[in-house]
Amino acid sequence: MSRIGIKPITIPEGIEVLFDTYLGRKRVIVRSTKNDNKLTYSLQDFIKIDILDRVLSVSIDESKFRNRRDRKDFKAFHGTTRQIIQNFIEGLEKGFKKELELVGIGYKTRTEGNTLVLDFGFSNDIKVPIPNELEVKASDNKIEITGYDKVEVGNFAAIVKGLQPANVYTGKGVRYLGEKPRRKKITKVQQ
C-alpha cells in the first residue's frame, strides 16, 4: 500500500463525487454544487474507490497483480490517484492561486479581455490567451492566476514564466512571488 494512498479523504459539504464509465473506462467526477464546476479523472482498472459517510478511500484490487513488478507500479498509481482526487476536492472548495512578479526596468503587464499582455521592452507586446477556467489579475508588475484546477493554474503560470525566465546574471525576468532565482557572479577576464 502507498503511504499517501491509504489516507482517507473527507468530502466537504457542497462537493459531490460521482462515478461513471466512458469508452469502457471507469471515471471519477468531482462536482461542486455551489457553482456547478466539475473535474474528471479516468481510473485504472485495478483502483477501487469506496465512499462511506462522506469519507472517500482509495484501494488496490490485488487480484489484478500479475507479477512483483505490478505491485510497485500499482502502489505508485494508488498514491497518485488519491492525491489527484484530493486536489480536485480542494480546488473546487477553495481554489488554487499562483502569483508571479516581473522584475526589470520597463517590464509591465495588463489584461485585455481574455488576453494577458506582457511588455518586456521588445518592439511588440507578447499576448497570451487566458484559458476559460482561469481568472487572471494583472497590475504593473504582478500577475495573480486563480482557478479550481491545480494543473491548469500551474501550467499557465509555467507558460508565462517561460516567456522571459529570470536571467542568472541580472535577475531580470518573470519569477514566482518570493522566489530567489539562482545568481551567477560576473567575473572579469584578464588579458
Last residue of a domain, one of 93, 108, 126: 93
The predicted pLDDT at position 75 comes to 79
Cα–Cα distance, 134 to 151 (Å, whole number): 11
Q: pTM for the whole thing?
A: 0.86
Structural domain for 29, as ranges: 9-93
**Mean pLDDT computed over every residue of the chain:** 88
Cα–Cα distance, 75 to 124 (Å, whole number): 49
CA 169 vs. chain centroid, Å, equals 29
AA identity, residue 134: L
Q: What is the pLDDT of residues 135-160, one digit of tens each?
A: 999 988 999 999 999 999 999 999 99
Q: What is the pLDDT of residues 55-102, one digit of tens each?
A: 999 888 877 767 766 677 777 888 899 999 999 999 999 999 999 999
Q: How many Cβ atoms from other residues are within 10 Å of residue 5's Cβ?
A: 21
Number of domains composing the chain:
2
Backbone angles phi, psi at 115, to 5 degrees: -135, 135
Whether residues 124 and 87 share a domain: the answer is no
Whether residues 88 and 102 share a domain: the answer is no
The predicted pLDDT at position 69 comes to 67
Whether 37 is in a domain gets the answer yes
Whether 190 is in a domain gets the answer no
Last residue of a domain, one of 93, 121, 146: 93
Whether residues 101 and 148 share a domain: the answer is yes
Q: What CATH number has the domain bearing residue 88?
A: 3.90.930.12
Whether residues 71 and 124 share a domain: the answer is no
Mean pLDDT throughout 16-35?
A: 89
CA 79 vs. chain centroid, Å, equals 17
Whether residues 129 and 83 share a domain: the answer is no
